[in-house]
């Protein structure tokens, strides 16, 4: 293995071991000292990692690690655009379809009769990261909830942000269920992946502070882009209780 390839291999391992967070890496001078290598060799190693998409150079800021996966905390209600920017990615949202229809009996049970009387809106959006399709999201909302919000307003925007800003509706809680599945032909086309590829299917229910259902969504999430994490806090009081019972 050529020297710059050895350095690239070592850097790749150390960057990936430190977790899925975008962060600045050492300068070329620091890497020269660390590996006792010339600047030309270090630049060749960095170029290899850049070609692999693992790092990116930001003018005036330095070189940053760009993790291949986005680590998503299941306990968070951070919107797609904010989450992507925190991960050092460039997010975009395209509205595939936005249609209004009469509510079905199942919709009435879900949203309640007063909201269902006005009808419901089916909203399909394609979310991209750095121009790459990442999430296909199909949402169902009460028509009164999205009153005054158009498909054009939802381009490259947060749905929850618009609901809060324009209609005073704020999401307080989200229940989300994840299951692995294989993508079908139509959805594979949107996500730009082969039919049968493994994806996460997320069923999500968002409610306001009073418990009223605001949105129900079915989301297909590319498994080669996202990783899901769960953070738990140790209940020391419960530990002490259990210890005393043993």
Q: Write out the two tokens for 133.
A: 């399709």
Q: Scan for tokens 């947060």, then name that residue.
A: 158
| Dist. CA 31–CA 39, nearest whole Å | 8
Q: What is the pLDDT at residue 72?
A: 73
Q: Are 206 and 194 in contact (CB under 8 A)?
A: no
Which percentage of the chain shows pLDDT scores above 70? Answer: 90
Q: What is the pLDDT at residue 202?
A: 93
What's the pLDDT tens digit per position in 140-156?
A: 999 999 999 999 999 99
Q: What is the pLDDT at residue 82?
A: 85
Which percentage of the chain shows pLDDT scores above 90? Answer: 62
In the predicted model, is pLDDT for residue 78 greater than 80?
Answer: no
Whole-number mean pLDDT of the chain?
Answer: 88
Q: Which of 8, 21, 16, 211 is nearest to 112 (CA)?
A: 211
Can you tell me the mean pLDDT for 221-245? 71
> Residue 157 has what DSSP assignment?
S
Q: What is the pLDDT at residue 75?
A: 66
* Edge-to-edge strand list for the sheet holding 120-129: 91-101, 120-129, 132-142, 213-222, 198-207, 173-182
In the predicted model, is pLDDT for residue 66 greater than 80?
Answer: no
Q: What is the pLDDT at residue 19?
A: 65
Q: Are 93 and 156 in contact (CB under 8 A)?
A: yes
Can you tell me the mean pLDDT for 103-130? 95
Q: What is the pLDDT at residue 236?
A: 65
Name the pLDDT band for 243 (thresholds 50, 70, 90).
Answer: low
């Amino acid at each position: 293995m050529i020297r710059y390839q050895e350095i690239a291999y070592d850097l790749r391992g150390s960057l990936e071991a430190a977790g899925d967070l975008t962060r600045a890496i050492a300068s070329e001078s620091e890497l020269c000292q660390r590996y006792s290598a010339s600047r030309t060799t270090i630049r060749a190693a960095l170029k290899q990692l850049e070609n692999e998409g693992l790092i990116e150079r930001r003018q005036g800021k330095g070189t940053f690690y760009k993790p291949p996966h986005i680590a998503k905390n299941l306990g968070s209600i951070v919107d797609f655009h904010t989450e992507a920017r925190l991960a050092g990615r460039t997010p975009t949202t395209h509205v595939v379809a936005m249609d209004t229809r009469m509510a079905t009996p199942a919709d009435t049970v879900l949203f309640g009769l007063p909201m269902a009387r006005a009808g419901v809106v089916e909203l399909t959006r394609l979310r991209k990261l750095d121009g790459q399709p990442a999430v296909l999201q199909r949402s169902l909302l009460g028509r009164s909830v999205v009153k005054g919000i158009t498909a054009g307003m939802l381009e490259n925007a947060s749905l929850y942000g618009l609901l809060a800003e324009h209609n005073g509706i704020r999401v307080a809680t989200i229940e989300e269920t994840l299951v692995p599945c294989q993508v079908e032909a139509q959805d594979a086309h949107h996500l730009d992946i082969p039919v049968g590829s493994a994806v996460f299917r997320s069923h999500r229910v968002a409610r306001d502070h009073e418990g009223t259902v605001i949105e129900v969504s079915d989301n297909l999430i590319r498994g080669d882009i996202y990783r899901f994490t769960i953070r738990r806090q140790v209940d020391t009081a419960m530990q002490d209780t259990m210890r005393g019972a043993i």
